[in-house]
Amino acid sequence: MTRKLSETPLVHPTAEVHNSTLGRWTEIADRSRVSESELGDYSYMMQDCSVWCATIGKFANIAASVRLNATNHPTWRPTLHHFTYRASDYWDDAEHESEFFAQRRAKRVTVGHDTWLGHGSTVLPGVTVGDGAAVGAGAVVSKDVAPYTIVAGVPAKPIRERFDRRTAERYQALAWWDWDHVRLRASLDDFRELSAEAFLEKYEG
């Protein structure tokens, strides 16, 4: 059976979404977990994704098994184990360490518009993936990714630019991701058939 998207987010029954905002025409696939995050219009994530404290733009393409904001353990402490900051899980007279969690939340991940995160990729805390960027399968992104740049590897490094800098800037200025649903449909053939340059020439200004 073919899934039909709508302005109401499509969340698979096995997915978990907590304290998050989902935009229109969005989809959360099987067994994904989303918490304290925002997912922009038309964005989707496939199976088995884990997303925490992330702001995701519009038209983000998130493949299966992607992890956004993979938190770090306290390497500077005598132990790496989470009993030090999740203490109330272990003892009735102890509390979770609120400052530790506040520090984690302060390192929110940001994913721009029209992005692609390949299968099994990981974006570490505090990283920004710019508009139009693509992240290769299995990559571990530990540093910000410039707009319209393709990165891959562990740790992720730039492979090439999708478009030259000037073209990328023109696309960011055009901001087609803010067009309404009707205009997107009217431009569908051009999205399919025109080159990046020809598309800009037709729709700029």
pLDDT of residue 2: 62
Q: Report the percentage of the chain scoring pLDDT > 90.
A: 86
Name the band, by pLDDT with cuts 50, 70 and 90, for residue 4: confident
Chain centroid offset of residue 202 CA: 29
> b vs e for 85-121, b when ≥16 Cβ sit within 10 Å of the residue's Cβ?
beeeeeeeeeeebeeeeeebeeebbbbbbbbbbbbbb
Q: Is pLDDT at 205 greater than 80 in this prediction? A: no
Instruction: Work out the average pLDDT over 30-52.
Output: 98
Strands (E) across 29-181 are located at: 33-35, 38-39, 44-45, 50-52, 54-56, 61-62, 67-68, 109-111, 116-117, 122-123, 128-129, 134-135, 140-141, 149-152, 157-161
- Where do the domains of the chain lie, and which CATH numbers do they carry? 10-69+107-162 (2.160.10.10), 164-205 (no CATH)
pLDDT of residue 35: 97
Q: Mean pLDDT in the chain?
A: 95
Give tens-digit pLDDT for 47-106. 999 999 999 999 999 999 999 998 889 888 899 899 999 999 999 999 999 998 889 899
Give tens-digit pLDDT for 121-145. 999 999 999 999 999 999 999 999 9
73 is catalytic: yes
Instruction: Work out the average pLDDT over 35-43.
Output: 98
pLDDT of residue 77: 87
Catalytic position from the list 12, 18, 73, 181: 73
Inter-axis angle of helices 196-203 and 165-174, nearest 10: 40
Q: Is pLDDT at 1 greater than 60 in this prediction? A: no
Q: Is pLDDT at 16 greater than 70 in this prediction? A: yes
Instruction: Work out the average pLDDT over 99-119.
Output: 95
